[in-house]
């Protein structure tokens, strides 16, 4: 695999929710320049405001959604492990992505410095000036070191937006822990003392995922890990992650991953 980095600045007008079930094998730094967003990460919904920074690690399930205030502007920096050029450098510079603190509320001084680095990254990407690749790599390292220092001092003071958000978070956590078991909407709704219609509506509103989208995404993400890290047969993996038939598993896996299970294994297999 080759190293790559992308810097994208986006202004959106009107309602917008990420359309795809989203998890991937690269890192993302999301900075909100204006507006407000809900950002669902793993099993919690974070309320992101102007000047906030969000860290998304590899294989972390996430999705953004409207808060009701639609218009917003953000910068997204995406890069893969190979771009950092060495495992030791990756370990040192991306430790902030491995913790429980996904949302950083920056003070004015931190916002100013982070924005300076992001705007320089954006400018270098567009202008492609002499020694541009070296400069972009240097700027990313500065950004990651700054993020690491801020994250190291940050406290994970998480507050649920509402009691409903807390209930849905608990439900998402339950799904992550019990993906191998039967998780029909009816069964889980009953376990959490909610009607199926209310669960369906609120799960989508809070997370951005439909209930079945989230369950399938959790199962496929775990299946991907097993395809990479074990020699187990596809049919065994499909059963272990909660699918009742290997045919259904194959369809869902390809819909989410863009590859069949065997194609994914060939492209991502670790040396076992």
Task: Centre a 10 Å sphere on the Cβ of residue 112 and count the other Cβ atoms it contains.
Answer: 11
Phi-psi region for residue 38, left (φ > 0), alpha (ψ -120 to 50) or beta? Answer: beta
The order of strands in the sheet holding 103-105 is 5-12, 72-79, 27-34, 52-56, 103-105
Report how far residue 231's alpha carbon sits from residue 219's, in angstroms, rounded to the nearest whole number. Answer: 18
Report how far residue 37's alpha carbon sits from residue 10's, in angstroms, rounded to the nearest whole number. Answer: 14
pLDDT grade for 208, boundaries at 50, 70 and 90: confident
Report how far residue 31's alpha carbon sits from residue 147's, in angstroms, rounded to the nearest whole number. Answer: 12
Report how far residue 48's alpha carbon sits from residue 54's, in angstroms, rounded to the nearest whole number. Answer: 8
Average pLDDT rounded to a whole number, residues 198-214: 93
The DSSP bridge pattern shows strands 44-49 and 52-56 to be unpaired
Whole-number pLDDT of residue 54: 97
In a 13 Å sphere around the CA of 232, the CA atoms on its Cβ side amount to: 16
Question: How far lies 264's CA from each of 3, 20, 223, 259, 261, in Å?
Answer: 19, 18, 10, 6, 5
Whole-number pLDDT of residue 20: 62
Of 19, 148, 39, which is closest to residue 94 (Cα–Cα)?
A: 148
Type and span of the H or E element at 191: helix 185-191
Predicted TM-score (pTM) of this structure: 0.86
Instruction: Delineate the domains of the chain, giving CATH numbers in brackets.
Output: 5-153 (2.60.120.280), 163-268 (1.10.10.60)
pLDDT grade for 66, boundaries at 50, 70 and 90: confident
Report how far residue 66's alpha carbon sits from residue 45's, in angstroms, rounded to the nearest whole number. Answer: 12
Whole-number pLDDT of residue 143: 97
Average pLDDT rounded to a whole number, residues 177-195: 96
- Over the stretch 145-173, which tens digit does the pLDDT of each residue have? 999 999 988 876 678 888 999 999 999 99
Report how far residue 134's alpha carbon sits from residue 57's, in angstroms, rounded to the nearest whole number. Answer: 24
Average pLDDT rounded to a whole number, residues 124-137: 91
Q: Taking 60 as the threshold, does the pLDDT of residue 255 lie above it?
A: yes
Higher pLDDT pick, 52 / 24: 52
Are 62 and 41 in contact by the 8 Å Cβ rule? The answer is yes
Whole-number pLDDT of residue 156: 67
Lowest mean pLDDT among 3-7, 18-22, 60-64, 145-149: 18-22
Report how far residue 14's alpha carbon sits from residue 73's, in angstroms, rounded to the nearest whole number. Answer: 12
Report how far residue 120's alpha carbon sits from residue 122's, in angstroms, rounded to the nearest whole number. Answer: 5
pLDDT grade for 2, boundaries at 50, 70 and 90: confident
Report how far residue 137's alpha carbon sits from residue 131's, in angstroms, rounded to the nearest whole number. Answer: 10
Whole-number pLDDT of residue 154: 82
In a 13 Å sphere around the CA of 7, the CA atoms on its Cβ side amount to: 18
- Alpha helices in 23-86, H assignment, sequence order: none
């Amino acid at each position: 695999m080759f190293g790559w980095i992308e810097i994208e600045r986006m202004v959106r007008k009107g309602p917008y929710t990420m359309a795809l079930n989203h998890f991937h094998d690269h890192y993302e730094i999301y900075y909100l320049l204006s507006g407000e967003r809900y950002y669902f990460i793993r099993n919690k919904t974070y309320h992101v405001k102007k000047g906030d920074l969000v860290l998304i690690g590899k294989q972390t399930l996430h999705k953004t959604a409207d808060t009701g205030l639609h218009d917003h502007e953000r910068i997204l920096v995406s890069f893969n492990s190979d771009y950092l050029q060495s495992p030791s450098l990756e370990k040192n510079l991306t430790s902030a992505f491995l913790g429980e603190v996904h949302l950083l509320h920056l003070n004015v001084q931190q916002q100013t410095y982070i924005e300076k680095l992001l705007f320089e990254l954006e400018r270098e990407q567009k202008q492609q000036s002499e020694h541009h690749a070296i400069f972009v790599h240097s700027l990313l390292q500065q950004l990651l070191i700054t993020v690491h220092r801020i994250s190291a001092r940050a406290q994970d003071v998480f507050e649920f937006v509402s009691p409903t958000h807390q209930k849905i978070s608990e439900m998402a956590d339950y799904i992550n822990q019990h993906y191998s078991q039967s998780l029909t909407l009816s069964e889980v709704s009953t376990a959490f003392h909610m009607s199926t219609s209310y669960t369906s509506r609120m799960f989508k509103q809070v997370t951005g995922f439909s209930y079945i989208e989230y369950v399938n995404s959790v199962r496929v993400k775990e299946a991907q890990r097993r395809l990479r890290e074990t020699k187990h047969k596809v049919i065994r993996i499909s059963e272990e992650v909660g699918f009742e038939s290997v045919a259904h598993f194959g369809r869902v896996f390809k819909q989410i991953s863009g590859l069949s299970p065997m194609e994914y294994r060939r492209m991502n297999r670790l040396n076992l």
